[in-house]
Amino acid sequence: MNIKVLSSAIIAGLILSASPAALFAAGGGSGTNTYKGEGKIGAVLMNPFDIAPLTAVIKNGGQKLTNVKVVVEGKKGGGLPISYDVSDNKILLYGGIPVWGMYPDYENKINVSYKLYGADGNTQNIQESYIIYAPPINLYGSGTKQKRVLPEAKVVIPADKSIKKDLYLMNHLSSTLPNAAQVTWNNPIGGAIEWDYESYAWIIDTNGDIRWYLDTSKLRDPNDLRKKGNMMGFDQTKDGALMWGMSQAYMKYDLMGRQIFHRMLPKSYIDFSHHLEETSKGTYLLRVASSDYKRKDNKNVRTVRDVIVELDKDGNVLDEWRLMEILDPYRDANMLAMDQGAVCLNIDASQAGQTKTKEELEDANAPFGDVAGVGAGRNWAHVNSVNYDAGDDSIIISSRHQSAVVKIGRDKKVKWIIASPEGWSGELAKKVLTPVDSKGKKIDCGESGSKCPGYLNDKGGFDWSWTQHTAYVIPEKSKKGLLHVSVFDNGDSRGMEQPAIVSMKYSRAVEYVVDEKKMTVQQVWEFGKERGFEWFSPITSVVEYMPKTDSMMIYSATAGLGDVQAFAKGEVELVPFLHEFKYGTKQSLLEIKFVDSNTIGYRALKVDLQSAFK
């Protein structure tokens, strides 16, 4: 038999047996792929980029659309609507109308309006509605460590009308034991690759309802060196997209989940964590470590959380700050006072309330790696934020293990230090700022300089920040030579000591004004001390000024973790608090607490939805 004829007969039989729908989908029949869409345009495509399950695209059905507006209606009973305009370019990018902000496990009503250009050349102004079901949240659960996949957000103080429509990205982490430390650096020794937790990123409205989340399972794999690590340092870039890092990679995706880039770190660096940001120049600052550093004793090590690198938009290295050469990696004053039970995410109930001795910190034979200790190759700095100051092309870092906020110039010279003067020497000692009151009078912080009037619960006034997170310049409030800086003062090692009882600890959001000419620092605002131990976050957290609403946003991300031993026994739970205050006051615009999860809170980020669809 002729093989060509047989093949043709088989193919013909397959075509005849196919359903009409399948035939058209394959492009057969009439030679078109015409289909009946939803509404007046096209089909609804859920989760179009596979990592943002609460998004969809209403396809344009091959037709031209302009002037698009979208409203995702709020849930019945007081839910908040989400509305946004979509630029014509974004319609072309997504092939239709992007739908963002749906509730999970819910039939969402989506109202859209647009100008439709018909095949006959006529245009119509269309208004229509779609009912789109979004599925339940499906994310990693650690089993014994969690009660629910994401914490429940309970509104304590309802949102003021000035921020009612605002959205907040929450970033939490959860143990993946026993897989968390399956990979360690060993050539050369050291580094922090073993620090690997499951990551959660989701967005809530001011009712606390979840309106978006990231399916991190599509991006993470604890067994793959390139896909390990904590997703941290979320930053919204000028074009409305999200950027963050994860151990050996950093990435940028838009709010619909479309990948813009996903890159490995440059080869000179390892172990991204904590912070990434886009500068006003369009460059990127990342907190990383050195992949191979030659110490003065000729040992090669991988360093830990002590290098800042600046990259351009294409991933080229523009500059670096090697902090082990700029600061003093052997200053141990603050590390001697730190509670070893909660050193960042290294939670160890057996070490709660204990401190390291000078001999332990300075032991030349101590292991290299992610351990509190002095010298390059150990966690002597633990930098958890880096912020660009466009005023003089400098960076401001927060070094947790030095309890220091430090400004460093492009020339790699230290400009000033907000920290207790204990333990600084040489030129660095001259850079420690002098605390002053509102009249410019020097504040007495005791013989050591560590015990300022505000360091105890029952006293007000100035205090340094201790094991702090996030030191951010506030350019909108700063003047030439007078720099406003917001800091989350976690509060461990306060006064260079551990208190008599753990419940005496507290955290603060604080704002300082630095007079860069007089080399003084004044405390102008604080919140948190009055909330006491309940609000104490020994690790993580953020405070950041919001220029659009002239407000201060605060996330006390690990409140409840203060008593590490009680937490390890399951006797207490993590209850993080999200706040917003009118700038310069304690007038609350919002308070939300998060319950029933026990995932470890990292940071919160206010998200501008409108910029994402311009």
User: Is pLDDT at 581 greater than 70 in this prediction?
Assistant: yes
In tens, the pLDDT along 470-481 reads 999 999 999 988
| 389 shares a domain with 282 | yes
| 43 shares a domain with 19 | no
**Candidates 274, 275, 382, 469; catalytic one:** 469
Structural domain contains residue 349: yes
Of 374 and 177, the one with more pLDDT: 374
| 378 shares a domain with 272 | yes
User: Is pLDDT at 149 greater than 80 in this prediction?
Assistant: yes
Structural domain contains residue 604: yes
Percent of the chain exceeding pLDDT 70 equals 90
Of 339 and 123, the one with more pLDDT: 123
For the question of residue 274 being annotated catalytic, the response is no
| 335 shares a domain with 232 | yes
Specify the number of domains making up the chain.
3
- Quick check: 485 and 391 in contact, CB under 8 A? no
Least confident of 33-47, 140-154, 365-379, 429-443: 33-47
Exposure of 116 in the CB half-sphere (CA atoms within 13 A):
21
Structural domain contains residue 143: no
Q: How confident is the model at residue 344 (pLDDT cuts 50, 70, 90)?
A: low
Least confident of 121-135, 213-227, 581-595: 213-227
For the chain, how far is it from start to end, CA to CA, in angstroms? 63
| 190 shares a domain with 83 | no
Domain boundaries, position 8: 1-34
| 130 shares a domain with 185 | no
pLDDT computed for residue 8 by the predictor: 38
| 1 shares a domain with 107 | no
- The CATH number covering residue 588 comes to 2.120.10.30
Answer with the one of 83, 104, 134 that is the final residue of a domain: 134
pLDDT computed for residue 24 by the predictor: 34
User: Is pLDDT at 457 greater than 90 in this prediction?
Assistant: no
| 93 shares a domain with 201 | no
pLDDT computed for residue 346 by the predictor: 65
User: Is pLDDT at 605 greater than 80 in this prediction?
Assistant: yes
Structural domain contains residue 144: no
In tens, the pLDDT along 237-276 reads 999 999 999 999 999 999 999 999 999 999 999 999 999 9
Q: Which of 276, 216, 286 lies closest to 242 in space, CA to CA?
A: 276
- The CATH number covering residue 85 comes to 2.60.40.3100
Structural domain contains residue 141: no
pLDDT computed for residue 6 by the predictor: 36
Structural domain contains residue 180: yes
Q: Which helix (H) or strand (E) holds 93?
A: helix 88-94
Calpha distance 464→469 (Å, rounded):
13
| 186 shares a domain with 123 | no
| 196 shares a domain with 85 | no
| 85 shares a domain with 109 | yes
Exposure of 14 in the CB half-sphere (CA atoms within 13 A):
9
The pTM for the full model equals 0.92
In tens, the pLDDT along 291-304 reads 999 999 999 999 99
In tens, the pLDDT along 493-536 reads 999 999 999 999 999 999 999 999 999 999 999 999 999 999 99
| 222 shares a domain with 81 | no
Please name every residue paired with 511 in a beta bridge, in sequence order, or none if there are none: 486, 525
In tens, the pLDDT along 65-123 reads 999 999 999 999 999 999 999 999 999 999 999 999 999 999 999 999 999 998 888 99
Calpha distance 253→55 (Å, rounded):
14
Structural domain contains residue 338: yes
Provide the mean pLDDT of the chain. 90
User: For the CA atoms of 271, 277, 279, 280, what is the dihedral angle to 10 degrees?
Assistant: 170
Query: CA angle 188-274-497, nearest 5°?
Result: 90
Structural domain contains residue 145: no
- Calculate mean pLDDT across residues 195-204: 93
Calpha distance 102→81 (Å, rounded):
10
